[in-house]
Chains A and B, each alone.
Chain A
Amino acid sequence: MIKLVVKDLHKKFGGLHVLKGVNFEINGPELIGLIGPNGAGKTTLTNILDGAIKPNSGTVYLNDTRIDQLEPYQVALAGLGRTFQVTRSFRRMTVLENLYVPALAMGRPDSKPAIHDKAMSVLEFLTMDHLRNEFAQALSGGQQKLLELGRLLMLDPDIVILDEPFAGVHPRLMDIIHEYIRRVNDEGKAIIIISHQMDSIFSLSQRLLVLNYGDLIADGEPEVVKHDPAVIEAYLGSDEDEEEPEPATETQS
């Protein structure tokens, strides 16, 4: 079973304490939303999870393998894949070539025709099969986001981190991304979605993690977290929920 254990994670950039002892676990194919205001530490946490930066202290275990000191490619091969906040497709490579990269990097003994067939099925799912031979730079911003998601399908990791998957995406492509997330989750993968699109986060997530200036201030079901006074104070804002009679400051723990 998929298991991610993040324990007492600290990260400082000079005098800035970006993560202050973050702890959480993922057990099984959970669909998790990670939210927080700008500067909360979401991207830093993601970068530590995928090996791009190393924590000052704390540990991350993925399926009993410690990954916090591994290189990003080793983390990917261990079973954790991610997308980036700003889309990072391989612009001067074709759409198909973009998909071949993770499949070949995994080093599975799949034959080239098998990899091609899988890539084509991914593109059909993303309604991009007609663009297969175009360079990625010819795609729209939304299509490039889909391409990034397609690359993750080819990587086939146990845990997927999607950093702002809905930002700047046309509503029709948004539907495809929602469908993508549900499909990947149904396939038994755990997913962490980082987004400021609250509608999408609340409609998709089974669990919410809320970061605020390096502290994990809430971890629970979306409906519960939504009414957590600390979260309201830090992120959602007290005016958003009229059912909250008490000022957020008074409920701060």
Chain B
Amino acid sequence: MRRQVPYYAGLALIAFLALFPFVYSANDYDYIMHIFIIAFFYAILASSWSMLAGYAGQFSFGHMGFMGIGAYTTALFCHYFYLSPQATNVCTEFQFGDTWLVIVNPIGVTSTTLTQDCLSQALAVWGGAYEVTPMPVWLGIVLGTIMGGVFGLLIGLLVLRLRAAYLALFTLGFAEILRATISAEINITRGQAGIELPKLFQDGITVFGRTFSSTDKIPPYFAMLALLLLCLAILTWLAKSKFGLFVRALREDQDAAAALGVNTTRYKVLVFVITTMMAASAGAVQAHYIGIITPNNLFLLQMSLVVAMAVIGGVENFVAAAIGAIIIEFVLEMLRNSFDIGGITVDMTIWRLVIFGIILMLTLRFTRNGLITPVIEYFTRGHVGGETVAHRAQPADESEAAK
């Protein structure tokens, strides 16, 4: 029974998260819902990074880079690709039956060129006679996820022979190069100005007879929660399969695993592809929720936050990492409130990061498995020591008798 406690607690937590938007009704409803959505986003990143670093031992610091690839793929796709019933004759375009796939020319961000893209020119000529259709958001998210996997495959192949600090530095370099490239390619990516994206549910959505507008928090809340649960379900399935066993063996001793028949190359690349696809999908959904993506989202500080969330939750347990991410996101938000002590105002906009850092340091010093993992292991592995002691006498007696 004790071993089942974490599973029941998990089900209760899912039920709570599913019911929360319908039972919570305070004035800060939108704010709390927003924090939850962001927390789910970080939970996906932290749990997938936990599989990569905690389970497989691949300490990649490029996770936010892959998140950015997902976000920028869908952003560029939605920004530059349209379907038109009529040829524009000024854009690059391909005909499919009665429909034209129009690729808008990049015009950068300068004010003089804002109306100079080919599609704007064509629409001006048409004078409302024709309308173009933007690409579906879901397709952008799918493409972003796939692109994340493609880059994950490439990076996974490149780092096959790298271990520990070298792997960390390589992936860190990749993420920084990616961010710098996005910042520099202003003509296409709009640089620091960022690219605006259509909302996750741009035209609203009707579910069970209830209509939600594009600014309602409930649809993106459940979209991100569903993505989190899907990722956790996939990670659970992988962890319980031979994949999970092999990547943990890879973490423990790559050479020994290979000597026992494990194709370490395959599993190292696979774990990169799977986890980077998760990061990319989270990035794509998040970008559509926020409505804009900028290179700042790929900053190293963001990666540090994901690592800290996973470490505080428990890096070797992706559920603990996800829970840790949700808790840390809320703690960081709650710590924004400044307060007075004896007439002295404590500015928490500064001190909250200090407090967060202290929590991280104390966790690393005293509970290397994080704060959540020991609780889970108390229930799932608490019986092991007793069992070992109970069984220990038996074989010893038998061996003595045999002598």
Docked CA distance A51–B263 (Å): 13
Q: Would you give the 0/1 interface string for A120-137, flagging 1 where the beta carbon is closer than 8 Å to chain B?
A: 000010010111011000
Docked CA distance A124–B392 (Å): 12
Q: Which of B240-281 contact A (CB under 8 A)?
A: 242, 245-246, 248-249, 251-253, 255-265
Partner of B245, one of A92, A101, A106, A131: A101
Min CB gap B381→A, angstroms: 8
Q: Would you give the 0/1 interface string for A83-100, flagging 1 where the beta carbon is closer than 8 Å to chain B?
A: 010001111110001001
Contact-residue bracket for chain B: 20 to 34
Residue of A nearest to B248 (CB): A93
**A residues near B249, Cβ cutoff 8 Å:** 90, 93, 101
Docked CA distance A81–B258 (Å): 10
Chain B: interface secondary structure? Answer: helix
Do A133 and B384 form a contact, CB below 8 Å, given A101-B245, A155-B261?
A: yes
Residue of A nearest to B395 (CB): A127
Q: Which of B155-198 contact A (CB under 8 A)?
A: none
Asked if A71 CB lies within 8 Å of chain B CBs, one says yes
**Complex interface: stretch among A6-14, A72-80, A232-240:** A72-80
Do A101 and B391 form a contact, CB below 8 Å, given A72-B255, A90-B249?
A: no
Do A52 and B259 form a contact, CB below 8 Å, given A101-B245, A134-B384?
A: yes
Question: Would B387 and A101 count as touching, CB distance under 8 A?
Answer: no
Question: Would A90 and B256 count as touching, CB distance under 8 A?
Answer: yes
Partner of B256, one of A84, A124, A129, A131: A84
**B residues near A93, Cβ cutoff 8 Å:** 245, 248-249, 252
Question: Would A76 and B258 count as touching, CB distance under 8 A?
Answer: yes
Docked CA distance A200–B387 (Å): 35
Asked if A104 CB lies within 8 Å of chain B CBs, one says yes
Contact-residue bracket for chain A: 20 to 34
**B residues near A84, Cβ cutoff 8 Å:** 255-256, 259
**A residues near B252, Cβ cutoff 8 Å:** 89-93
Docked CA distance A133–B261 (Å): 23
Question: Would B263 and A131 count as touching, CB distance under 8 A?
Answer: no
Min CB gap A68→B, angstroms: 16
Partner of A90, one of B242, B248, B381, B387: B248
Do A73 and B388 form a contact, CB below 8 Å, given A88-B256, A92-B316?
A: no
Question: Would A104 and B256 count as touching, CB distance under 8 A?
Answer: no
**B residues near A129, Cβ cutoff 8 Å:** 391, 395
Docked CA distance A50–B394 (Å): 38
A-B CB contact pairs (8 Å), 6 listed: A52-B258, A84-B256, A90-B248, A101-B245, A105-B242, A155-B261
Given A73-B261, A101-B245, A105-B242, 11 extra CB contacts under 8 A: A71-B263, A73-B258, A73-B262, A73-B264, A76-B261, A84-B255, A88-B256, A90-B248, A102-B261, A130-B395, A134-B388
Give chain B's interface residues, CB within 8 Å of chain A: 242, 245-246, 248-249, 251-253, 255-265, 316, 381, 384, 387-388, 391-392, 394-395, 399
A-B pairs with lowest CB-CB distance, top 6 = A130-B391, A105-B261, A90-B252, A72-B258, A76-B261, A88-B256
